[in-house]
Structure 1
């Protein structure tokens, strides 16, 4: 009981005294448990409840909804990227070390709002998976997809609660740029076959996401080697997320592109070997056909019999 009491006291001290007081009364910011509950509900819905409900149903036709949804995500990502630039990236922020501005200045408050809206955007991205389930594209609801979407709201919540600005927003800035490209791809794909034939660059989108995580990893962990007024706990928090997501996306890239390409090449070689074998068999059959026909219609066999009969008669 004493240990539990200390744990509860430590939690309240963390939430009340060590968090950013500017966001304590904002929607979903008072406690991590509502966000955790939403994330767990999402995972249960897309992995258990959704597939069960769709088991005996026809896939939904969502073309128009997908077009508007992806257009919304492109515009939302553009706005979030613009807000990250307005906060100081590529102008006043340092890529080497950027402490969090905890003041109530207009620029600092604008940055905090941008961080909260980025957190909120992680919930809107749940619809990526929900639409997969509604269209019965269950193979798209992969381990990578569910882990990535299921973890992000909880991860970003801690960033908004404790460090809304400064060094940690580098990840958000990069991520919103990648999402502009990603949702633009999805928007074009939703327009139908006439456009889809030009979308040969999907694998490069995955590569762009992997580059993003390498940059986040390097940007975060550089603070372990320099003096910077930025919480070390969040250096590890952001850096280890980058490692996890890089591993997941790398595994997906290998499975989806490298191994698939190797299987296609192997299948191509097998087809070529089988074709060559059929050609050789066909040529051999063509050379044997006259002889087989001879035996078949009795002419060649008759010649043999006549010669044998002539030999017997001469004896």
Structure 2
């Protein structure tokens, strides 16, 4: 009897997603980012904290401006799309997705500056998870999923980052008198993830969206809610 080699099954859509994720160019950078954090305590042991106030002012205002530019690119792309649930390549959004990926690479400097300033307390699990995951997901969307269906999520994120980095820029401008709306900023971020979850759930139920968007949204919402209650509702905060 002739030996018949079994035919390997085609990978599922979830399998393709994971394969693409593992092949990203940003994956080595994400590993280096985690290694930098792991060894940061050694660096801080033998160095003195740097001030970097002027650099932080320029950096944060620059990130705010880049997020504004990215938001405008996404707004234009969505304005000419046929539907926000459209799951196909859309050339009008390619530049927006590339800019979004570029900005997420630049934003890794947040952590670098924290290490140089010996602000280890700020490098929380939420901080690392958010920066690392967004680095990978931004490249994934640029190369494989530059769709109108994903654009609303990253548009809202870019809009939030306009305000967020403006807040950081103001803080760097006058460290002794920081803006008083940090709590409102966090509430806005939580509202962002609630909107994302609502859109992702609707898309999953009626437009064939991947469930990963819901799962990621849940993790981010839980982490930000935990941060919010610890920062603003604890006895220490009051």
| Range of TM-score over shorter length | 0.7 to 0.9
Q: 2:86 aligns with which of 99, 108, 120?
A: 99
Give yes or no for contact 2:67–2:158 (8 Å, CA) kept in 1: yes
Q: Which residue of 2 aligns with 1:75?
A: 65
Rounded to whole Å, the distance in 1 between the matches of 2:193 and 2:75 is 19
How has the CA–CA distance of structure 1 residues 99 and 138 changed in structure 2, closer, same or farther, with 3 Å as cutoff? same
1:52 aligns with 2:27: no
Give yes or no for contact 1:32–1:157 (8 Å, CA) kept in 2: no
Rounded to whole Å, the distance in 2 between the matches of 1:193 and 1:160 is 37
SS in 1 for 2:49: coil
TM-score where L is the length of structure 1: 0.66
Q: 1:248 aligns with which of 223, 227, 230?
A: 223
Rounded to whole Å, the distance in 2 between the matches of 1:193 and 1:218 is 37
1:114 aligns with 2:106: no
Residues 266-285 of structure 1 aligned to structure 2 (within 5 Å): none
Give yes or no for contact 1:210–1:249 (8 Å, CA) kept in 2: yes
Q: Unpaired runs of 5+ in structure 2?
A: 1-6
Q: Which residue of 2 aligns with 1:263?
A: 236
Q: Which residue of 2 aligns with 1:309?
A: none
How far apart are 1:40 and its partner, in Å? 1.4
How has the CA–CA distance of structure 1 residues 50 and 264 changed in structure 2, closer, same or farther, with 3 Å as cutoff? closer
Aligned length: 229
Larger radius of gyration: 1
Q: What RMSD over aligned residues (CA atoms) do the two structures have, in Å?
A: 2.6
TM-score where L is the length of structure 2: 0.86
How far apart are 1:264 and its partner, in Å? 5.6
Q: Unpaired runs of 5+ in structure 1?
A: 20-28, 103-107, 266-315
